[in-house]
Structure 1
């Protein structure tokens, strides 16, 4: 029997008694493993060998996982450090320093601390649960087991470690080759090898030798390395879709600074300066520069008067401290409504005449406790409509039209309090996987105390909607951290689709 060189070599190296792995055949024949695999499949088609395949999964620690296996998980170290201090709760900074957490480890520790039941993180303090047992932390025990080469932990734990980037899991197809009865007979009768060409080269074409050589068969079933191409991030895809929908509804887009004066972020919204949300625990203040240089003097005085005295015959103001220095302080915007106040005041693009509709899809920053629906930075869908005689019915109808574009028709509304809108209400949507109601936005009609200092003489209805939570409703993601951040689920991002 005459066979191509690679097939003849594999047939001679194979055994009728023992199943020989592809790697061993490659070493014995001095051929690449992929060549041996192709030759084995071709021999199997001739009935000369039997090829058996078995999937094997291996788990290895990443560099970060190896470090945590040695030093301990950040959340465990934070718990142990907080438990080692006398007070409870303890200042967050003191616990972080004692735990030796630096850089990204801080966010990782804070995001996993409450999830694992070690305690609570609130308003800059860390509370510990005395019943927590860090020695039985399933993720820490799994890292130790992988390091020691012991039995693999459960798939659920491995999935969490993989999402955290602490392990790498790979699947490998192990193939073995065994001679069949026909293969043994062929060897006994004698096998001759002939040279074949696996690739057409420029030299073969130039010399004309291609006419006389024998080309090897191309095996389309041979293994190939998986390549994941780039794609538009689902959050970006959702944001672009939101922009398309709002532009189609007649809105114009706003833009403005991420770092802005507290004046534009809060004071213009009739937010009192002693409001808890304006403390240093809830905002990211700038150290350099620390305050804005220019503010419209007339507007500053009108906003201060609204805070101190109120607006209109029934206005009473807050009777609380108001300091222009605090208003000038720079911070990362806690909401994109700072763009709205800039535009409504006329300082951004000039005076705007009603009717008008504006929106933005931009980032906001808050010192929130990380959980399944909160991140330190997030995208907010800001929007407002200026017109005469607006009502809550107009606002609710706008939301129903907007969310219907994404296939969401079960929006629920709940009355709410905001310092800058009256009436106000929150929006809720039903998660497609869990069936739970999740808050997706806040809205209302701007109060006179906000509009009068800005020089606006008609009604303005406005809202701030969460882009990430809209993405959760359209993709089925159950945790906002699966979408972006250090714990993002890459497999989910590669396969998720925005439905609308």
Structure 2
């Protein structure tokens, strides 16, 4: 019997009693694991070895998990600070403990929530007291111990619920792998005892083989044309981008023109022009992505003055304003836009495209950034369908009719509207659509007619109706997805994206 050199070497290195991992054989023979795996399957087809496959879970620490393994889990560090400050006797002010614990800003909420979840402490009226009946021994916290075990390559022995919690906290990554091992069959043992010669095989006919005549003396490798070939997937436009392009086509067909503008912008354009008070909770460092860059000093001075006056004193004889703090430096500070209405403010003010005369219709389909908690309907960055119409004597009926026409292009005809409050529109309402799979109502957008406090400083003397719609949630209603993360982000389903049918 003759076998290719790789197959013969594998056969001779394989035992007849104990199974040998393919990885170990590849290391011993100095061969590529893929070549050894291929040789093992070819020998199995010939009946000389038996290949066993076993599914394994590969668990590794994320960058955040590595950091917590070195520095300690935030809740343990907060508890240690509480113990040192005497919180076992009486509650200690939270601010003092946060400072002593050395927690970073991004770790504070994590520490507080997990401190309470594990029973390590109780939070009441801005103070922390040590828990009387913790779920775990803080000196033997199972999640902290699990991080050490995973770093040591001993994840197999860990409980599934602990791994689930660590994965939910983003401290580990889990992946399915396949472990293969081989063992000689009786036929393989017999073949080795009878003797096997190494056959030099050629995988392709070359010009040299033909001109020299050596082709008649070599043995050509056999090809199994029925074997599974590696799947090759070509590139394609992401379904989210396809839908965005479709939205643009629809809006252009409805008479709209597209807006463009910066992703990082001054808070003045993002919020101040929208009559959002500077002490509004949505404008704190908890909800926005502030950038450590120089402030935007080229804001139009006259517009800045008018917007400040609207905030302080209101607009018109009955205007009252907010009577809340106003800081020009905060207005100039740069952050990632939380909505594309910053583009609308640039255009309506005349800064982006010059002075506009009604009627005008503009839109954008661009990415926005919000410090939200990740869940099936929320992401830290997503696409917003921004739009507005400038015209005389607009009404809510005009706005609802625009939505009805727009969504009909995507087969969505069962819209529902709910009155809502916005600081920048009056009246305002939210849009809801019914999910085709779960039959649940899903919020798909927010809308209204801009208040005088928004339009007057911008120099707009007619009505403007506006909206912000979620592209990803439109996608959910079109295709029946239940989790935005199936199509967007690091957890997306690649098979789904490759095979989903495009809807027009």
1:259-274 alignment, distance < 5 Å: 259-272=264-277
| Match of residue 181 from structure 2 | 175
TM-score (norm 2): 0.73
Distance change >3 Å, CA 396–CA 230, structure 1 → 2 = same
CA distance in 2, matches of 1:493, 1:111: 30
Q: Find the counterpart in structure 2 of residue 385 from structure 1.
A: 389
Q: Is the 1:472–1:480 Cα contact (8 Å) retained in structure 2? A: no
Query: Counterpart of 2:258?
Result: 253
| Aligned residue in 1 for 2:418 | 414
Taking a change above 3 Å as real, the CA distance of residues 388 and 11 of structure 1, as seen in their structure-2 partners, is same
Verify: 1:218 aligned to 2:223, yes or no. Answer: yes
Aligned to 1:196: 201
**Is this contact kept in 2: 1:413–1:427, CA < 8 A?**
yes
Please give the alpha-carbon distance, in whole angstroms, between the structure 1 residues aligned to 2:280 and 2:28.
Answer: 77
Between the aligned partners of 2:292 and 2:10, the Cα distance in structure 1 is: 70
Q: Secondary structure at the match of 1:297?
A: helix
1:134-171 CA distance string (max 9 Å, x none): 65876545434435626444556546655736245351
Tell me how far 1:364 sits from its aligned partner: 4.1
Alignment partner, residue 72 of structure 1: 72
Q: Report the Cα offset of residue 425 of structure 1.
A: 0.8
Give the whole-Å Cα distance in 1 for the aligned partners of 2:264 and 2:447. Answer: 23
**8 Å contact kept, 1:22–1:177:** no
Confirm or deny: 8 A CA contact 2:256 2:362 kept in the other structure: yes
Deviations 1:20-70 (A, max 9, x none): 655676688787655554444444444x42423222415343463444334
Quote the Cα distance in structure 2 between the aligned partners of 1:207 and 1:253.
67
- Please give the alpha-carbon distance, in whole angstroms, between the structure 1 residues aligned to 2:164 and 2:226: 30
SS of the aligned residue for 1:399 comes to helix
**Are 1:61 and 2:65 an aligned pair?**
no
* Aligned equivalent of 1:444: 448
**Change over 3 Å in CA distance of 1:143–1:223 after alignment to 2:** farther
Structure 1 residue 84: Cα displacement: 6.5
Decide whether the 8 Å contact of 2:57 with 2:177 is kept in 1. Answer: yes
1:44–1:51 contact (8 Å) kept in structure 2: yes
CA distance in 2, matches of 1:129, 1:429: 46
Structure 1 position 384, deviation (Å): 0.7
C-alpha change, 1:138 and 1:444, in structure 2 (3 Å) is farther
Work out the CA distance in 2 between the residues paired with 1:462 and 1:425. 11
Would the aligned equivalents of 1:261 and 1:291 in 2 still touch at CA under 8 Å? yes
C-alpha distance in structure 1 between counterparts of 2:194 and 2:322, whole Å:
106
Q: What CA distance in whole angstroms lies between the structure 2 residues aligned with 1:36 and 1:328?
A: 64
| Aligned 1:326-341 pairs, distance under 5 A | 328-332=331-335, 333-341=337-345
Question: Which position in structure 2 is the counterpart of 1:317?
Answer: 320
What is the rounded CA distance, in whole Å, between the counterparts of 1:434 and 1:83 in structure 2?
A: 48
Q: Kindly indicate whether the alpha-carbon contact (under 8 Å) linking 1:271 and 1:419 is maintained by their aligned counterparts in 2.
A: yes
Aligned residues: 483
Q: Distance in 1 between matches of 2:236 and 2:110?
A: 27
The 3-state SS of whatever aligns with 2:403 is: helix
- Per-residue CA deviation, residues 179-222 of structure 1 (Å, 9 max, x unaligned), is 335x5665666655543223555654564433432111135688
- Partner of 2:493, secondary structure, is helix
SS at match of 2:177: strand
Deviation at 1:414, TM superposition (A): 1.6
- Residue 410 and residue 29 in structure 1: after superposition, are their counterparts in 2 closer, same or farther (change >3 A)? same
CA gap 1:113/1:188 in 2 versus in 1, 3 angstroms: same
In structure 2, the residue matched to 1:352 is: 356
Alignment RMSD, CA only?
4.8
- The change in CA–CA distance for 1:117 and 1:223 in structure 2 (over 3 A counts) is farther
* Distance in 2 of aligned mates of 1:494 and 1:415: 40
Q: Which of 1 and 2 has higher RCO (CA within 8 Å, sep 6+)?
A: 1
Question: Does the CA contact (< 8 Å) of 1:384 and 1:463 recur in 2?
Answer: yes
C-alpha distance in structure 2 between counterparts of 1:431 and 1:76, whole Å:
42
Once the two structures are TM-superposed, the CA of residue 344 in structure 1 deviates from its matched residue by 1.5
Residue 370 of structure 1 aligns to a residue in which SS? coil
